[in-house]
Chains A and B, each alone.
Chain A
Amino acid sequence: MPFEVIFGAWVATGLTLFILTFLYEDNPLFKIAEHLYVGVSVGYAIVKTYDTVVIRLIYEPMVKQGDWSLLVPLVIGSLMLARYVPKAAWMSRIAFAFVVGVGSGLAIPRVISSYILKQIEDTVRPLVSLATDGSTTFTYSLLDPASNLNAIVLLIGVVSVLFYFFFSVEHTGPGKVVARTGILFLMIAFGAAFGYTVMARMSLLIGRLSDLIDYSHPEYGRATWWLLAVTIATLIAFRARRRGTEPPQ
């Protein structure tokens, strides 16, 4: 295995363990890793932005291919940065106005089409189905999301939740029944969301621990074991030093 891969495995393992020390208590190892994370992430973003935006999207098309119309976004982008010059900061408003105006204009018809019309269309499905012989039939399989019974449940759910969030009307009488139905649906959905969130977070931990297990093998020099020992020893040393500097009770 190449040296840079083994060295990289040691660095990755060390940084992973430094972050995990936060589970014991906040400590300098975690703080170093945390600040390094921010620094490296921002540095990476700056390099990629420079390479993609400045070189590939501006310099090469403008200078090498002669597309001078790109001067327009270059000027607008530069106006944005005028925000940092107090006397000229007002010019950044024009840049923001352009971006927000175009963004809002692009979004309105697309959002209406995708999220409102299409979603309502799927909610108001027929409550009975047509069988092959032309007669109407009512399908009630709960396991089939497209069944007629589920279409009714879906309709009730959408209407009751929308009504629950409609605060201009007091939720009394029949309205109270609808609102309480909405709350019931909401609680079930939030429960499902919590279950999925647990699944997601555990998956992230499984991924990191899988890597630590891989890096504990001999071909990586048993990085996990050695660095685990060093990390624990360092935490004990920090604790002892803190106890030593604490005033006697």
Chain B
Amino acid sequence: MTFLRRQLPVLVTFVTGILFAAQYYVPHPLSEQMLTSVSKWLQIIGGFALVLGVTSLFHIHAVKIRRKEPGWGYSFVLYAGMVGTIVIGLWHGGKETTDGVTTAFGWIYSFMMVPLQGTMFAILAFFIASAAYRSFRARSREAAVLLIAAVIVMLGRVPLGEHLIPVSGDITQWILNVLNASVRRAILIGISLGAVALSLKIIFGVERAYLGGGKE
């Protein structure tokens, strides 16, 4: 039983990891067939993973409503929105349009979900302005360099900036294509080396935090 709980998952990770890392270098039809099948399986398993995230949300707000904790009315609004969307969505077979005509599910998507999500992120514009005013200070030489680069890019990426200071557009292009690209490249190489190292640690069983779930 200990083997099933402890060693088997690590063995599964090892075998699948080595198999699919090696698959990249093996163009044999059987290898390609294996890749096709398993990538299809991952699509299906990915759908199950979504269930995990949703269930915890259900649980948190159900507890709030049951215990009538402060703000439980808002949890009720959340549930009403969720259940209403699910019922209407399933009624229309998950389709936003049928023969070019918008369904009630499509109406909820276009006139509730899109404006709600859009506005939630749009208000960040105000907060970035407020944060820039309060904290974007040239306290050191490095901060001053950051500030100057930011101002040049903000000028160079809008028509008014290019109109008033034509060279700002060219400097912005140089900053983005050379200076920024070099830094991002270095960061990308560094992160990728770390990701490969972590993947190898996972495959060889050194890193097991991803397993979680249940007592051993």
What mask results when residues 175 to 216 of chain B are scored 1 for a CB within 8 Å of chain A, else 0? 111111111111111111101100110110000001111111
Q: Does B133 contact A (CB under 8 A)?
A: no
Which of A's residues lie within 8 Å of B, judged by CB?
A: 4, 8-9, 11-13, 15-16, 19-20, 22-23, 31-55, 57-58, 69-70, 72-74, 76-78, 80-81, 83-84, 86, 88-90, 92-112, 115-116, 119-120, 122-123, 142-143, 145, 150, 153-159, 161-162, 165, 183-199, 201-202, 204-205, 207-208, 211
Given contacts A120-B189, A191-B150, contact A43 B145 (CB under 8 A): no
Q: What are 16 residue pairs bridging A and B, where the CB atoms are less than 8 Å apart in the complex? A: A41-B117, A43-B89, A48-B89, A53-B47, A77-B47, A92-B213, A97-B16, A101-B12, A116-B189, A120-B189, A143-B174, A150-B174, A162-B189, A191-B150, A195-B154, A195-B157
- Separation of A185 and B184 alpha carbons in the complex (Å): 10
A91 CB to nearest B CB, Å? 8
Q: How many chain-B residues does the 8 Å CB contact rule pick out?
A: 129
B18 CB to nearest A CB, Å? 7
Please determine whether B149 and A185 come into contact, CB atoms closer than 8 angstroms.
no
Please determine whether B44 and A74 come into contact, CB atoms closer than 8 angstroms.
yes
Give the number of residue pairs across the A-B interface with Cβ within 8 Å.
396
- Separation of A77 and B8 alpha carbons in the complex (Å): 17
Please determine whether A188 and B142 come into contact, CB atoms closer than 8 angstroms.
no
Please determine whether A97 and B9 come into contact, CB atoms closer than 8 angstroms.
yes
Q: Does B147 contact A (CB under 8 A)?
A: yes
Please determine whether A111 and B50 come into contact, CB atoms closer than 8 angstroms.
no
- Separation of A80 and B116 alpha carbons in the complex (Å): 32
B150: chain A residues at CB < 8 Å are 191-192, 194-195, 198
B125: chain A residues at CB < 8 Å are 201-202, 204-205
What mask results when residues 136 to 174 of chain B are scored 1 for a CB within 8 Å of chain A, else 0? 000000110111111111100110000000000010111
A105 partner, pick from B23, B77, B175, beta carbons under 8 A: B23
A208: chain B residues at CB < 8 Å are 115, 118-119, 122
Across the A-B interface, the 3 shortest Cβ-Cβ residue pairs: A157-B182, A191-B149, A39-B81
Please determine whether A36 and B9 come into contact, CB atoms closer than 8 angstroms.
no
What mask results when residues 36 to 65 of chain B are scored 1 for a CB within 8 Å of chain A, else 0? 011011111111111110110100000000
Given contacts A92-B213, A154-B182, A158-B186, contact A108 B115 (CB under 8 A): no
Q: A9-B111, A40-B82, A53-B48 are in contact. List 20 more A-B contacts (CB 8 A).
A: A16-B119, A19-B123, A44-B85, A47-B89, A49-B50, A53-B46, A53-B47, A80-B48, A83-B214, A84-B55, A97-B10, A97-B16, A100-B202, A101-B13, A101-B16, A111-B196, A116-B193, A143-B173, A159-B186, A185-B183
